[in-house]
Structure 1
Amino acid sequence: MLSPKQLDEMARRVSEHLPGGLREFQQEIEKNTRTAMQSAFSRMELVTREEFDAQAKVLARTRARLEGLEQRVAELEARLNAEEGSGGEQPTAE
């Protein structure tokens, strides 16, 4: 999310580009612009770069673990199929 200082700066820039007749309402326009931008940004559910990077790292670790587990399952299935094919004992249902 943007800091209040960043929102103030953006609102100030918008108000600076207003025609001369509207500049007398500059403070009110800055306040309304800041409020409108803050509302719009909160509805977008934005995250900071730090939050994004942290979640990207979590996702990378999770993906690596999933790939390891998939490989392990494939090895266990291959071993089970090899045992079944060689006439190994089959588990009995009781």
Structure 2
Amino acid sequence: MIDPKKLDDIAKKLSDSVPERLKTAKDEMSKQFKQVLQTQLGKLDLVSRDEFDTQTQVLLRTRQKLEELEKKLSEIENR
């Protein structure tokens, strides 16, 4: 779901922003940042890009069918 490399990059940026006097704990903080990010992102109700694209296509087909049915119904009512 979430690219682990992106989480590593975010965790690294966070740990790099730590003041220099705390850099001795940099590796541990980076691990903690990554763990917190994974936990919090895991709690979000997210879908994969593939699932999103699939549902978008289903919605498009459904909308087209609905428009066709509305057109047919209108033609029937006008008779």
Pair in the same fold by TM > 0.5: yes
Structure with the greater alpha carbon radius of gyration: 1
Which sections of structure 2, spanning at least 5 residues, go unmatched? none
TM-score by length of 1: 0.70
1:5-16 matches, cutoff 5 A: 5-16=5-16
Which sections of structure 1, spanning at least 5 residues, go unmatched? 80-94
Instruction: Please give the alpha-carbon distance, in whole angstroms, between the structure 2 residues aligned to 1:29 and 1:60.
Output: 46
Structure in which a larger fraction of residues adopt helix: 2
- Considering only aligned residues, what root-mean-square deviation do their CA atoms show, in Å? 1.6
CA shift digits 1:44-80 (9 cap, x unpaired): 222333332222111111111111111112222222x
Q: How high is the sequence identity, in percent, across the aligned residues?
A: 39
Counterpart in the other structure of 1:49: 49
Q: Deviation at 1:32?
A: 1.4
CA shift digits 1:5-48 (9 cap, x unpaired): 22112111111111112211112211111121112222222233
Instruction: Please give the alpha-carbon distance, in whole angstroms, between the structure 1 residues aligned to 2:78 and 2:39.
Output: 56
Q: How many residues align structurally?
A: 79
